[in-house]
Chains A and B, each alone.
Chain A
Amino acid sequence: MRRPEGKGRGVVILLALAFLLLSFFLCVALGATSISFSEVLQYLGSGSASDDPSGTIFWQIRLPRVLLAFIVGACLSVAGCVLQGMLLNPLTDPYVTGVSSGAALGAAIGIVTHIAIVPWLPILALIGGMLTLLVVYSFSRRHGQVNIFVLLLAGVTISQLLSAVIAVLMLKAGRDVHQLLYWLLGSFSGRSWTEVQIALASIPFLVVPFFFAKELNIMLQGEQRALELGVDVERVKKVLLVVAAVLTAIAVSVSGIIGFIGLVMPHLARLVIGPDHRKVLALSMVFGAAIMALSDLAARTIIAPSELPVGVVTTFFGAPLFVYLLRSKRGPRW
């Protein structure tokens, strides 16, 4: 596939933003109660909560939920993009570092001990995730250098270990098992502005990778070559590993473990706009946000009035898409 150059590139970015906007309107408008396009504009224009019921639905339910999906989608996509580029491994997703399992364990403890009231659940998850990062990271550091392979192995191992602990908690969870399961499969159900506020903490971490786009590009030639070209590889790895882990922990803490977005979006972005991280990061962020919100729309409408876990939806559509990408001749170049 020819890469879009010059004007074409501008068109791609405009189209992506239009897609994001469209997904926003669809997601706030559709649901158990439909809100018309003009109402949406009117609510946004007035800027505050109104007494009418669909206004309340818009401000208190739909809007925070869509914004949260946008942020979580962006976090997972950017984290996946950074890790895939840095580890030179196309199968990397944000969960390989084990951070997600740590976050899940934190949340699981919160749920079974019934301190599962907002905002404690996300905060427990965040703590679990960061502690796991600390353990995995210190395992993989030797002589001041981060060994990527040790990091991946430690991440996967700890992830398995923590999953076993979660399994035991699930057996003991009794009637909480339902809530726990939804959390482990990822869901935006019942999320409010509180979660959005927590998720907003990710914004600086979403920005940092853009300052390392050049380094990420050069590291596609391998760590060794990057060193030869003057990149401070160890510093880049340290910063970006922590950034990716924090993004993952924040995303997981507010929404649970949502699969496939972090794996597939960077591939999709690369396919559309080429390998340059300055563009891939931006485009996978937009794709991740839009597709996460649309997936959530599907999750809450397909079997309405019940809800599917959003992770089920992303996996359901993400897996075939990924297989298609792998088999396609225009597929990801690795």
Chain B
Amino acid sequence: MVTGDGPHGGGPHIDVETVSFSYPEHPVLREVSIAIGRGDFLGIVGPNGSGKSTLLRVIDGLLRPESGRVLLDRRPVLEHSRRELAQAVALVPQHFSLDFDFTVQEVVEMGHYCRQEGDARACATAAMETLGIGALAERLFPHLSGGEKQMVILAQALAQQPDVLLLDEPVSALDVAHQLEFFDCLQRLNADGMTIACVLHDLNLALHYCRTLLMLSDGRVAAYGPVAEVLVPDTIDAVYGVHAHVHHHAGRSFLTFSPRLRAERRERVHLVCGGGTGAALMRDLYQLGFAVSAGAVNALDSDEITGRDLGMPMAVEAPFTVLSEEVHRENLELIDRAHVVILTDVPIGTGNLRNLDAVRHALKRGAAVWVVADLPSRDFTGGRADLDLPGARQFDSVADMVAELRERAASGRPSGLS
């Protein structure tokens, strides 16, 4: 549970209290409650149609919730006049068009409208300086690039001199460099005390820049809390229906995603692989709809990483360790459930010698066994290995195996593997 207190102290700045909102016969928000602390950097994520933009518009008093209410500094937003609200809260919209030849300076000055006093020109200039776009001042707005326009709209919002910035997918039309530049600006503003609530799609941007994260799913709060606690694979899987993988690299975390693939065919293929010889095959088989397992492999081997990403059952040994009896047994259990066992062109050394025993076990059980030909050339055991695999079908390469499997999958033959 997140308390409303931000790092800058004080009570909650914006209270969203059990807000529900519907368009006619179409509920969009269902009893959403959050408390945004002063100085927070909140990200709002969720699949398309989950109610993110609607929530922003309810917070900004542009939509009247069906039930519940939004408080800004303990006073309902709907009791503020538009002008008062614009002085406290600025919204950066998702869509913005202005096809008239106003200069950037004039466009930014429009943000100052809600302030009845003060020098609009100076205020606009200051806003542009903050964002480093002072050089654009005399350019005509319609002639700007998408990235420049987005910065100008942000400047227009800053010219309102608000305490809170609400942003609705501000960077979804920008290239990666402009995205980072834009968010770096937001981060600086936040460091200077601006409260920020930003709808965004890119979970990696959320992970890097946001402090708190709200994940909406079908109008409900699916998760709400510190960003690292919300962006965990289980939550992402439940809300988006994709596999998420958290990686840590050079002191930063980032996420990658893969589609949640379901084995549509009953045939199970077991790969005896390692050293990256199975990774491509794993993905190909998944895409063809086979259930895939693998073993035995060492942890952090690239085949093991790919298999883990795909969420497949594997027999895994510790890194750089000879396969133990225990892992070997796990591997045999997986093989017992497989219809076909593939031995890739993985080199055989003393460490994974047991994998040949596993393949022979499969042959004994009568499973189909496919082997990449010329096994002796991959034997690095100095003659200790028993390379005799009677009854195994020889293929020239892994690619040939895939070709045959693809053909069989396409022809829809129910169990054409043996």
List residues of chain A with CB under 8 Å of any chain B CB. Answer: 3, 214-215, 217-218, 220-222, 224-225, 227-233, 270, 274-276, 333-334
Contact = CB atoms under 8 A, between A and B. Distances in A.
Contacts of B106: 217, 276
A333 B101 contact: yes
Contacts of B82: 227, 230-233
B16 interface: no
Contacts of A233: 82
Interface of B: 60, 62, 81-87, 90-91, 93, 96-102, 106, 110-111, 113-114, 140, 142, 156, 160
Contacts of A333: 99-101, 142
What are the 4 A-B residue pairs with the smallest beta carbon separation, nearest first? A230-B86, A230-B114, A275-B100, A230-B83
Contacts of B81: 232
16 contacts: A217-B106, A220-B98, A220-B102, A225-B93, A227-B62, A228-B90, A228-B93, A229-B86, A230-B83, A230-B84, A230-B113, A230-B114, A232-B83, A274-B100, A275-B102, A276-B102
Contacts of A224: 62, 93
The interface centre, meaning the residue of B60, B101, B156 with most chain A CB atoms within 10 A of its CB, is B101
Contacts of B140: 3
B100 A220 contact: yes
B97 A221 contact: yes
Nearest to A235: B82
A230 B85 contact: yes
Contacts of A274: 100-102
A221 B98 contact: yes
Contact of A222 (B60, B97, B113): B97
A81 B101 CA distance: 16
Given A214-B113, A230-B82, A232-B83, 19 more contacts: A215-B113, A220-B102, A221-B98, A225-B93, A228-B60, A228-B62, A228-B91, A229-B110, A229-B114, A230-B83, A230-B86, A230-B87, A232-B81, A232-B82, A274-B101, A274-B102, A275-B101, A276-B102, A276-B106
A233 B99 CA distance: 20
Contacts of A231: 82-83, 113
A218 to B, nearest CB: 5
A86 to B, nearest CB: 14
Nearest to A280: B100
A227 B84 CA distance: 11
Contacts of B96: 221, 225
A193 to B, nearest CB: 41
Nearest to B115: A230
A221 B86 CA distance: 16
Nearest to B106: A276
B113 A221 contact: no
Contacts of B87: 230
B110 A221 contact: yes
A228 B157 CA distance: 9
B110 A217 contact: yes
Contacts of B98: 220-221
A217 B110 CA distance: 8
A290 B113 CA distance: 34
Contacts of B102: 217, 220, 274-276
A217 B100 CA distance: 10
A231 B91 CA distance: 13
Most buried by B among A214, A233, A270: A214
Contacts of A228: 60, 62, 86, 90-91, 93
Nearest to A334: B99
A267 to B, nearest CB: 12
A214 B97 CA distance: 17
Contacts of A225: 93, 96
Contacts of A215: 113
B302 to A, nearest CB: 50
A105 to B, nearest CB: 36
Nearest to A85: B100
A185 B140 CA distance: 41
Nearest to B111: A229
Contacts of A270: 100
Contacts of A220: 98, 100, 102
A309 B113 CA distance: 45
A228 B62 CA distance: 8
Contacts of B156: 229
A232 B110 CA distance: 14
A215 B100 CA distance: 15
Contacts of B99: 333-334
A3 B106 CA distance: 13
A230 to B, nearest CB: 3
Among B60, B96, B110, the one with the most A-chain Cβ atoms within 10 Å of its Cβ is B110
Nearest to B85: A230
Nearest to A214: B113
A128 B91 CA distance: 44
Nearest to B98: A221
A287 B142 CA distance: 27
Given A221-B110, A225-B93, A276-B106, A230 B101 contact: no
A274 B101 CA distance: 6
Which of A3, A217, A221, A231 has most chain B Cβ within 10 Å? A221
A233 B62 CA distance: 12
B99 to A, nearest CB: 5
A218 B110 contact: yes
B112 to A, nearest CB: 9
Nearest to A215: B113
